Each structure stands twice: as structure tokens, then as C-alpha cells.
Amino acid sequence: MTHVVAEPCINCKYTECVAVCPVDCFYEGKNFLVIHTEECIDCGACVPVCPTTAIFSEDDLPEKWREYLEIAEKVQDEWPNISEKKDAMPEADKWAEIEEKRAELSLEPWSE
């Protein structure tokens, strides 16, 4: 079983989840994070610390966000690993209030 990062993370990328992950299974895109489906140990430590309520157990992932599991599987081996907390995106607080953000999702990996 794995956990899945869903739509509320888009354009926010708060990384409190990364800081508590015991196995460093988060990977970073340009404006989104994913959890590597084969590395997640299903501990759930990331769920309560996510300020946008974007992380769900695969079994509890809302149907409207089922595609985010497929997205993670598609990009998890291409995106760089992120293992330390860093600042959220510049307008994260504004984006955290927006509900439908799928059109904003970039599948590009993070690069500095």
C-alpha cells in the first residue's frame, strides 16, 4: 500500500511531509510532489502534517483524484528525490485556497 499526493498540493509544495518521512520517498516536480509508490512504507506520518490535506492512503484517495496515483507512477523515477524541508512555493498560501487546480499541474521535474 502507498500514500498518494493529490491535487491540493499543486502550486503549494509545502514540505512538512518530506521532513517527517522516515524513508525519503518524496519526489519533486516543478509545482507538485509525489510519493514513490514502491518506496512508501505506508506509515502515514505525512498525512497529519500536510497543511492542504493533499495526502491520502491509496485506499482513501477520493475518486475525483484517482489519476494522481497514475501520475506518481509515471514520474516517480524521473523526478529528483527531496528529503529535507524547504520553503513552499512563493504564492502557496493563495493557491492553497483554490480547489480545482489540475490544469496547473506540470509534469516537469524540479530543477534549480
Judged on CB neighbours under 10 Å (0-12, 13-18, 19+), 95 is buried
Residue 80 to residues 27, 57, 71: CA-CA distances in angstroms? 5, 22, 15
Which residues partner with 82 through β-bridges?
26
Task: Say how many Å lie between the first and final Cα of the chain, rounded.
Answer: 32
Walk me through the domains of the chain, giving residue ranges and CATH numbers: 3-86 (3.30.70.20)
Provide the whole-model pTM.
0.96
**pLDDT score for 33:** 98
Which residue do the cell numbers 509525489 mark?
A: 34
Question: Each residue of 6-54: pLDDT tens digit?
Answer: 999 999 999 999 999 999 999 999 999 999 999 999 999 999 999 999 9
Segment 78-95, tens digit of pLDDT: 999 999 999 999 999 999
